[in-house]
Amino acid sequence: MSETAATSTKATPAVSPFIFVVCQNGAEAATKQEILAHHPNLKLSFSRPGFITFKVDPEKPLPLRFTLKSTLARTYGWSTSKLKSENADELIDQLLETEHFDAASRVHLWQRDLTLPGKNGFEPGVSELAKAIGSQIDAKSKRTDQVNQYAAADDLVFDIIMVEPDQWWLGFHYAVTPAGRWPGGAPMLEVTKEVFSRAYFKLKEALLWSGIKIKPADVCAEIGSAPGGACQFLLEHDCEVIGIDSAEMEDEILANPKFTHIRRRSFEVKKKDFKPVDWLVADMNLDPGGTLETVASICGYEGVRLKGMVLTLKMSDWSYVPKISEMIKQVRELGFQVVKTRQLAFNRREFCLVAIKNKITLRKTKR
């Protein structure tokens, strides 16, 4: 546990009859379907875009530190109560009286996503409204830390979800997953940074979530690299970068001596060009089958020795979600020991699949 109000010896919270799940705005139906398919002990309760609650079958309870088998769930926890008032001061006063508010290691407060990430400048994370309310809470609370600090592994997090500005749902979770350490399951990235595309943030989140640490001088190839957000991120990390795309890359990327542009489509590239590659990134406008076929042909080529892959798999519709387990199996069969999927907070209608050849690499690089 972190050095905060956390050191309190107050009893840990008990499980509640309900859990909450946060997902991308618009992904509710697919998320419900995915979760119910894997967790028949849950029953749908309340739902708003980006926010769902489920009732847990008391005969088949979940453990206190539960995890869900879901690609679309951004984060989740126990749903305990809700506060309603049009007066923020009143809400804060009620909040400060709530059990476990003082004892939790961290307090996370966020608004459900109001639209699709990337639409009209919207980005996931702690909104301006949530920041302002967080400061008001800090000013009134006895806690020694501030609202919305990252949690450490296994910290008890007190959750405040602003489902509406005047309707706050309260809950808690233990930070047993990497995304469980971030407010609302979204890493707090500097989204005002000038980037060539949002792929910069997607790749950054993918690495934070998966624990992959790409080292300087690693050779990274990206298929579907234009205009160059992900390459910008990799070049900032001093990698040798090969961008594969028939479309134009940004001039600044092309001017970087550590960058090589193969101005072709994936199937026109000679497989031997992938021999020096450590990490393969793919972000093509293809359906998941097309991307997986492309990377399978690269992995199967003699002399290609990838450490891992970070794939963005595009979903023209949600019918791909029930097929994700099969996709994971397909990638495992290519010889990757760890294969994980998640719809990143910064993803749009797509999800991320990471594959790691040898799990020891991951342990060595864990932050």
Ligand X SMILES: C[S@@+](CC[C@H](N)C(=O)[O-])C[C@H]1O[C@@H](n2cnc3c(N)ncnc32)[C@H](O)[C@@H]1O
* Residues near ligand X (CB under 6 A): 196-197, 199, 223-230, 244-247, 265-266, 283-286
Residues in the chain: 367
Q: Quote the least distance from Cβ 252 to ligand X, whole Å.
A: 12
- Separation of alpha carbons 250 and 180, rounded Å: 35
Q: Between residues 159 and 240, which has the closer beta carbon with respect to ligand X?
A: 240
Q: Between residues 219 and 362, which has the closer beta carbon with respect to ligand X?
A: 219
The answer to whether 67 and 177 have CB atoms below 8 angstroms apart is yes
Q: Between residues 129 and 269, which has the closer beta carbon with respect to ligand X?
A: 269
Q: Quote the least distance from Cβ 290 to ligand X, whole Å.
A: 7
The answer to whether 28 and 50 have CB atoms below 8 angstroms apart is yes
Q: Between residues 70 and 197, which has the closer beta carbon with respect to ligand X?
A: 197
Q: Between residues 245 and 278, which has the closer beta carbon with respect to ligand X?
A: 245
The answer to whether 92 and 140 have CB atoms below 8 angstroms apart is yes
Q: What spatial distance separates the first Cα and last Cα of the chain, rounded to whole Å?
A: 16
The answer to whether 76 and 68 have CB atoms below 8 angstroms apart is yes
- At CA 291, angle to CA 334 and CA 178, rounded to 5? 75
Q: Quote the least distance from Cβ 276 to ligand X, whole Å.
A: 19
Q: Quote the least distance from Cβ 271 to ligand X, whole Å.
A: 14
Other beta carbons less than 10 A from residue 284's beta carbon:
20
Q: Between residues 153 and 247, which has the closer beta carbon with respect to ligand X?
A: 247
Q: Quote the least distance from Cβ 170 to ligand X, whole Å.
A: 38
Q: Between residues 229 and 288, which has the closer beta carbon with respect to ligand X?
A: 229
Q: Between residues 226 and 327, which has the closer beta carbon with respect to ligand X?
A: 226
Q: Quote the least distance from Cβ 308 to ligand X, whole Å.
A: 17
Q: Quote the least distance from Cβ 130 to ligand X, whole Å.
A: 28
Q: Quote the least distance from Cβ 34 to ligand X, whole Å.
A: 24
Q: Quote the least distance from Cβ 135 to ligand X, whole Å.
A: 34
